[in-house]
Structure 1
């Protein structure tokens, strides 16, 4: 895409600071501001810009010259919803990658994926659309990560792990080689996953065990 892009960051929590820092490595980008879920934080500053709008005003952002968005939403269901809304209204949803992240040459990175500082994607990995690979996460060879998933800071996935869509793997969790984690799963921080985890569940512990059920968005 040629020309300078005016970008709205969608989200105004802690992760918004991370996304703002990632945008500094993208050429020809102008930060328009931040959009929050509600009006409560309007006018607050986050780094170099202010919260200027809300998510439900997305169709009108184009009137302010916004052509692209960067999603700064940790919650997978909310991030998926805003990805769909932004795409439907013709905005480009930016993929971002910190320069210290390592992505192997044959890894496949989906549309609008965000890869934070120090993350590693090994040989033959496949990363779905709108996924978030947080700071220092390690995704070893031939892993497959579904759309809208979130790999938390410092988590470690051994080779050939499958993570379903809309799944969250928490801070520092470790997943054994070849494990299959289903869709819409929450894996608690620090967990050690040594057995497959079915869809729509919450699992945690050392070793991790299924503790509860979750609900898919719209269920």
Structure 2
């Protein structure tokens, strides 16, 4: 399987490692910092608008950008059908057979997704994070490295859970919210806020999707 990465970034390097670990290859890295299409080693590089020059039936697309709102905007811009997007799962990840992983989602090394959890589309499950049983993680969420969602947690669209944060059982976190690194979430958190600390407390509203 061949892949095109949208976003030539550090995050993209980790995704490429996951792709290679599955025996596949990246053939192109597209980013609007490039003005035209050119070849560098094994890759084609160029602006995102030229994806049509490279995409064929044997190639999948992954958005290799960690910022949730930008990832969503690129999806809206590309207007590709869902089958064009690849789901990348590192071989070291442990994924329950009863869980579901959406298209365009990336599951990094040593991630655990336990029984009956549902992970949406274009989600990032970053290195060594844990999604326990019966969790729901909606589209465009980013669960940062070593963060832990305990059983029955519900994370709504576009939210980011910071590195090493933990979320107590059955807690619900709203849309486009940011949970700070190392925070402990013990009660529900609403939409469009930033919450940090132990226990996590709201410190500001997020007036735009960019925070």
TM-score > 0.5 by shorter chain: yes
* Aligned partner of 1:178 among 164, 170, 175: 170
Instruction: Specify every segment of 5 or more residues in structure 2 that has no aligned partner in the other structure, as ranges.
Output: none
Out of 143-152 and 5-14, give the one that drifted further: 5-14
Deviations 1:148-173 (A, max 9, x none): 11100000111000000011101110
Query: How far apart, in 2, do the equivalents of 1:60 and 1:141 lie?
Result: 42
1:45-194 pair list within 5 angstroms: 49-50=42-43, 52-62=45-55, 67-88=59-80, 92-194=84-186
**TM-score normalised per structure 2:** 0.88
Contact 1:22-1:96 within 8 A present in 2 as well: yes
Instruction: Specify every segment of 5 or more residues in structure 1 that has no aligned partner in the other structure, as ranges.
Output: none
Are 1:195 and 2:191 an aligned pair?
no
Contact 2:119-2:137 within 8 A present in 1 as well: yes
| Aligned-residue offset at 1:22 | 1.2
Contact 1:127-1:146 within 8 A present in 2 as well: yes
| Cα RMSD (Å) | 2.6
**TM-score normalised per structure 1:** 0.85
| Aligned-residue offset at 1:49 | 4.5
| Aligned-residue offset at 1:109 | 1.1
Aligned to 2:3: 7
Query: How far apart, in 1, do the equivalents of 2:167 and 2:105 lie?
Result: 21
